[in-house]
Structure 1
């Protein structure tokens, strides 16, 4: 817990040096006759557009009837953005299933809303969204839209000239204030200028070379915080940044990677396997790092490895390389994001080191392609189909990530043999009616340790999963996939996350029919089990169970739990859901 407390407030959203911008934007946003109802925050990458916009959004949202915050990014899908907005503004499940655009439009016409669209790259996506949002109409009842973009023409196109608010680099005084705040985030030392005048001078020189860009300043502060607070250590950083202020941000970001301990570098690069602006669960990261043996402890103890993985994630946050999106009740990182400039750095460095490839840089010399160990696909341009048709045998592939609506995705997986694959992640937002998940040769992936399916995917995983002797994490939450009973023969299974209860398909897993086969020493997570099959003795058999989720919970089960004795000391999280009144 001490390590966790150390980082608990390291990611608090603060707008240092941007107070004037915040006040101007708030006044503009709440003025009654705001032209088109849009405020556009524009400027070069790293200036703090998202930080400022999120603080503005959170500050004013209570003054509106409904609100939504959506990350748009470089490869947006209008349907997914509208669905995200619909969920946040309160459109019913039924209204989201059919005629989404019409139903959302009808709702927004009657509500005074504020919506933040972060990181819009071009005008095409706005044209698609504008068919539903129509701020020029909704502004008459006081609705507002906040957008951020690195491009002036995008902001001008969406909200016209009056909407524009251009962020500028921080001046030297505000830059140093931000630097000081981030350096001493844990010890609140306000007198260091008197105690260390030499360090103050070096610090100011370092800050000047960051060019007033907040991202460069906070990353530099995170790097220095991991070093000794000495003249020699800080001078070394100053020398390595160089003198060209124009290249300051790029040099600082590259230097921050080189400054990482060797063991942390592959863990940081792993963030590039996800699409830009993707919210990544801490649970996923730590378990994938362990699955690929990026984290190894001498004792071989799994709990020690998980603790070390959590410390590494916290260390990356402390260095300001990663942004926390959500935390759990006890301060752990629930989910996180990476700035798009740092995401680009991950992709570039990963290609250079052959750590992973993306759909955009995987093609090339056949000899290099054969050495690909990890690959990720996150667009819908048939790149996955083209790649695997050209390269059917990737004998060294260890991890495959698919974030795509490509209808060929499952047919490709069905015809490929990944004997050494350790991590498989498939996120499919659109249903594929032409293929069954049961056709995938999962049973041949004998080295598989981490398996996740998410999205509009249904069917039943094949019984050949019993061959997966090394499977540690199986996650089909947020899908409609049925689990085979043979899953319990995976004796190394530690985390099982099933989908929420679906009355039509009765998808929730049970445990009673194969209770004797459940590995008692390994299972730590069981989400979601149907209440009909829950037995209190399960908690005493699974001696390391830390998280349990039950659905369709009855009053009798609640009574059983309230009188349970002794209460398992390892259980940390208990979630109970009832779908019926």
Structure 2
């Protein structure tokens, strides 16, 4: 990874020479000299990196090179600080004062500059001693070139790799759905053997979904707290009670679970259980004893590495112990073939999967005889070099026409070599699916036999050196090899994932922005890619190599979130520690996963902390100051911190004011500060403006009423996330316009400014969310020429709307994704013309219209990109489904508060081909709803709320096989009784809804809702696309 650190520093030096050295001419020559020496070192680092695993001296040299590069970057930041402090004054007096300070500051830096020059020279001299020579310049690296090509093509979907276990899935499913079988099923086995994959297959099995009324999945892990686990379980079993559940103590949560199981047949999956705490505190009171447990309406499926846990549970409830077996040699080879052939195909590499198997080779066409006898003799000679196992394959291939025999012989030799090498390597994986899949992800990046031989050689070398006596040793060595094989620019991206807590679902857009702020993503993108496209490409290769698990957006197929397998995360932390990449600060109750070496055992240059990942639990601020020494070994080492990410352990907003004061006073070089979901009171400390090197600042979900004006000092800021909670109206000073490097701006869903909030100078802005024309001038949008994603709340006159939409449809703009919420009555012909302009925008993806619409535009006026549409108070007289069902990419449709004023709607056959979510709320005149067979073939969730004249669930729902969730809220008792099960007896409409796995029936407190609506009347609390409980927020202001 040192190669990439040096690369980043060289890039920073170039930027300094271009943008800053004109103010500091005496430094230019020295900076260029350091840059030249670093470039020479960079050309050597790739070769040295390949030898560091077997040469401790080279490993130390690389570590020293990395730290020197970091020291240079630290010095650059100090120089930037010196020049920036004097560049802003406009008067001559201030300018001369600034120059004096600058000269004084640079004079004080002279010893540091000389020291760095000496270190770089010493590193270069040390190369001759170690006999390391650079690769010749100008010779292209074909492997790197092909890797770049592969990164452009990858699948957005991750498949579960399950081989040879179908019968076991059916066996375990039958135990769970049987009334007489055990209450608990435990899947045990070592890490990487596929326990979670098997549990997922069971969890999503159609028999399981049909048998249980409610299902919940909770990952326990080593750091899981019982109350947190139980809250997550209950949120799944009773989603309508999330608000109440969030305030319950552990005893109340247990009592609630007992009540739930009396009403519903439940399946609870506990994944990755490490000890008995969760069972003792949560499930023992529920199950009681073995005799009483038979009366409990809960089945538990758990995965664990410790079979003693299953034996312990069996004392309270009958527990079936299933030991996950290792794959045999044939199954292991089949899994590797499946992985390699699938991914090579996706990567655009031609590789016949059948040639990887000696049992299933398709016989090619051939002529009746050979025209070239030498060709036949060469094939026979080649044949004799291989074992009897391959005789049949070779003899069949000898019948190939001589005109193509030369190429075919070489291909055959390579394919058979690949098979031999692959079988030898997979045999060393010990039948562990994770090791095999990761090995497959590594091999799929290699298309030549020489590359396979190199992997084979390295693989054996890692196994010989590895700690294979320990549990999961084989998996760790395969993962280590895969990490070692990563291109240098991907290694810091992978190690950065170690910042996040275990089992944390990482939003990919946030991850990309963090990578950008850290400098991991090169600004020089290829083929006009955006910087976010480059980041997604980097993540795509990590996914291809099976080092990261991802979840894709169902509508777009793009990565939505990602996470690490616990063993992959362990590798991430081990390598991060070896590379001095990251320091984790656990809670006071959580022991470190990796022991920290004592200060005396670490040289000062290697012990500097660069990144902090800080776990926060209750009362964090009360004990944070005494724990300063825990952050790192000496205070001076904190001066080098570039990144600090704070994570709330229990998902609650703890007060972090003192910790933030510490960050502002001590971490002056910090570039990344993530403070999501914490409490700061009325105002953020002014010291935040002193962190002038910040590239990323997130206050998302924080309790914060006012932003300090010092935020305008953060001139290098690239990402600013101010999405505070829905009901917090934040006051923002008019200083955002000063942040001229800003690329991503997320405004609060509700905000205000003493004057108009100016944004027109943000010429680099690419993402703008929650823009509100009541706070900012809509004409500012016309100045943001690089904007790619826009989400805006528009409250404008019709002429201004028309002018804005005319601008947004210009071909010269880069907008790919736009979302609008508009409160307006579209009734006149002029207004309807503007509405047609709006829905026709090529980049329009989400639209929320509040107000009367005389008539919907015809389907031909809608753009093809519209994916989500919300209509409120529209009072449409004609059935909107006739038009909307023809939109090819619409996946979410929400009709609320008399959006339709008629009494009948119809969803026609083949209508709504892409719809996954449909919500009807407050359609008080709706009486008849017909769904034809073939309509909405992909519908996943259906919600019917306060449609008081609707008598029953439409008969056509029974045709929608994809439907997984039905939510019924505030409907008449006669409607609810038709679908509700009473004492295991199905309702009158069971034949319509019986195939739906999850049916929720609830009522909200309408009195409370009306009171809340009155309190908030007239305020701008209808933020755009924010998550909030639909049972607490007025329907007009809910997430859309």
- Which deviations, in whole Å up to 9, do the C-alpha atoms of 1:199-233 show, x marking residues without a partner? 21211111001111111101011001111242x22
Match of 1:527 among 769, 778, 787: 769
Deviation at 1:267, TM superposition (A): 0.3
By relative contact order (CA 8 Å, sep 6+), the higher-ranking structure is 1
Query: 2:308 — aligned with what?
Result: 153
Q: Does 1:365 align with 2:599?
A: yes
Distance 2:527 2:639 in 1: 29
Deviation at 1:457, TM superposition (A): 3.7
Query: 1:208 — aligned with what?
Result: 427
Query: 1:446 — aligned with what?
Result: 692
Query: 1:329 — aligned with what?
Result: 555
Q: Secondary structure at the match of 2:309?
A: helix
Match of 2:453 among 220, 224, 235: 235
Matches within 5 A, 1:451-530: 451-454=697-700, 457-477=703-723, 479=725, 482=730, 484-485=732-733, 486-498=735-747, 508-509=750-751, 513-514=755-756, 516-529=758-771
Deviation at 1:181, TM superposition (A): 0.7
Query: 2:339 — aligned with what?
Result: 182
Match of 1:23 among 170, 188, 207: 170
Q: Is the 8 A contact 1:385 1:408 kept in 2?
A: no
- Kindly tell me: are residues 9 and 325 of structure 1, through their superposed partners in 2, closer, same or farther at Cα, counting changes over 3 Å? closer
Deviation at 1:362, TM superposition (A): 5.9
Q: Does 1:98 align with 2:247?
A: yes
- Which deviations, in whole Å up to 9, do the C-alpha atoms of 1:228-274 show, x marking residues without a partner? 242x2222222222266754222111110000011110000011111
Distance 2:792 2:231 in 1: 26
- Kindly tell me: are residues 17 and 355 of structure 1, through their superposed partners in 2, closer, same or farther at Cα, counting changes over 3 Å? same
Q: Secondary structure at the match of 1:471?
A: coil
Deviation at 1:14, TM superposition (A): 3.6
- Kindly tell me: are residues 511 and 149 of structure 1, through their superposed partners in 2, closer, same or farther at Cα, counting changes over 3 Å? farther
Distance 1:527 1:159 in 2: 52
Deviation at 1:149, TM superposition (A): 1.2
Q: Is the 8 A contact 1:22 1:52 kept in 2?
A: yes
Q: Secondary structure at the match of 2:741?
A: coil
- 78-87 vs 133-142, greater mean Cα deviation: 133-142
Q: Is the 8 A contact 2:272 2:303 kept in 1?
A: yes
Matches within 5 A, 1:62-211: 62-89=210-237, 90-99=239-248, 101=253, 102-103=255-256, 105-130=258-283, 134=287, 140=295, 142-159=297-314, 162-186=319-343, 187=345, 189-192=352-355, 193=357, 194=361, 196-211=415-430
Distance 2:706 2:549 in 1: 36
Q: Does 1:52 align with 2:301?
A: no
Query: 1:505 — aligned with what?
Result: none
Q: Secondary structure at the match of 2:640?
A: coil
Distance 2:287 2:770 in 1: 40
Distance 2:275 2:475 in 1: 24
- Kindly tell me: are residues 511 and 411 of structure 1, through their superposed partners in 2, closer, same or farther at Cα, counting changes over 3 Å? closer
Deviation at 1:279, TM superposition (A): 0.7
Match of 2:184 among 23, 38, 41: 38
Distance 1:134 1:184 in 2: 48
Matches within 5 A, 1:262-411: 262-298=488-524, 304-327=530-553, 329-359=555-585, 360=592, 364-365=598-599, 367=604, 371-378=608-615, 380=617, 385-389=625-629, 391-393=634-636, 394-404=638-648, 409-411=656-658
Distance 1:176 1:337 in 2: 27
Query: 2:439 — aligned with what?
Result: 220
Distance 1:438 1:294 in 2: 29
- 9-18 vs 114-123, greater mean Cα deviation: 9-18
- Which deviations, in whole Å up to 9, do the C-alpha atoms of 1:428-455 show, x marking residues without a partner? 5xx758x666137311111111122355
- 385-394 vs 113-122, greater mean Cα deviation: 385-394
Matches within 5 A, 1:7-22: 7-8=154-155, 10-22=157-169
Deviation at 1:474, TM superposition (A): 2.1
Q: Secondary structure at the match of 1:335?
A: strand
Name the larger-Rg structure.
Answer: 2
**Which runs of 5 or more residues in structure 2 are unaligned?**
1-148, 346-350, 362-411, 586-591, 795-819, 848-867, 869-1023, 1026-1032
- Structure 1 length as normaliser, TM-score? 0.86
Q: Secondary structure at the match of 1:148?
A: strand
Match of 2:477 among 248, 251, 254: 251
- 354-363 vs 569-578, greater mean Cα deviation: 569-578
- Which deviations, in whole Å up to 9, do the C-alpha atoms of 1:34-85 show, x marking residues without a partner? 33x2221111000111111112111223432222222221111233323322
Distance 1:279 1:7 in 2: 21
- Kindly tell me: are residues 456 and 154 of structure 1, through their superposed partners in 2, closer, same or farther at Cα, counting changes over 3 Å? farther
**Which runs of 5 or more residues in structure 1 are unaligned?**
502-507
Q: Is the 8 A contact 1:279 1:325 kept in 2?
A: no
Q: Is the 8 A contact 1:438 1:460 kept in 2?
A: yes
Distance 2:515 2:540 in 1: 14
Q: Is the 8 A contact 1:327 1:334 kept in 2?
A: yes
- Kindly tell me: are residues 299 and 326 of structure 1, through their superposed partners in 2, closer, same or farther at Cα, counting changes over 3 Å? closer
Q: Is the 8 A contact 1:156 1:163 kept in 2?
A: no
